């Protein structure tokens, strides 16, 4: 008898664990509706080696959102556009987080450089760091 792998806890939100009948039951949608949504590109379930669809918890949540939108009268073209915009928003939010972290690291490095070089470099040669009212930071090197 082969040894079982150790239990690592419940699957994550992207683990494809639900077959189409279970996904349909969890969302209150007909399996054919799920196939239609896939054909339209609204959802992309993972596939098994034999071609069977497997849905993740994240897929189930998206299907529920689509069902809510269509129940509210939004057409499938509108749903597609909303899904696209939500995807773009998530990507931009991730990029914004990365840029904020990079900015914080640059601010820290400039602050350390400024503190460590006070005696060696005249103040008029240090980079200038100024924050605007909009929260932007402007960094420039003074003329030589």
Element (H, E) at 54: strand 53-54
List the CATH number of the domain containing 62.
1.10.1660.10
How far is Cα 76 from Cα 38, in angstroms, rounded to an integer? 12
- Per the structure, the complete domain to which residue 49 belongs is given by 13-74
pLDDT tens-digit profile, the chain (144 residues): 667 777 676 778 778 789 999 999 999 999 999 999 999 999 999 999 999 999 999 999 999 999 999 999 999 999 999 999 999 999 999 999 999 988 888 888 888 777 765 555 455 555 566 666 666 666 665 555
User: What does the alpha-carbon distance between residue 87 and residue 96 come to, in Å, rounded to a whole number?
Assistant: 14
Is 122 inside any structural domain?
yes
Our count of domains for the chain comes to 2
pTM of the shown model: 0.62
* DSSP letter assigned to residue 55: B
């Amino acid at each position: 008898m082969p040894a079982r792998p150790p239990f690592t806890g419940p699957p994550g939100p992207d683990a494809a664990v639900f077959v189409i009948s279970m996904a349909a039951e969890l969302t209150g949608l007909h399996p054919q509706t799920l196939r239609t949504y896939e054909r339209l590109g609204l959802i992309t379930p993972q596939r098994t080696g034999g071609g069977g669809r497997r849905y993740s918890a994240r897929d189930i949540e998206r299907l529920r959102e689509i069902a809510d939108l269509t129940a509210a009268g939004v057409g499938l073209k509108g749903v597609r556009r909303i899904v696209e915009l939500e995807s773009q928003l998530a990507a931009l939010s991730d990029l914004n987080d990365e840029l904020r972290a990079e900015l914080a690291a640059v601010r820290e490095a400039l602050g350390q450089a400024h503190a460590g070089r006070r005696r060696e470099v005249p103040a008029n040669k240090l980079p200038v760091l100024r924050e605007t009212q909009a929260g932007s930071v402007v960094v420039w090197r003074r003329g030589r």
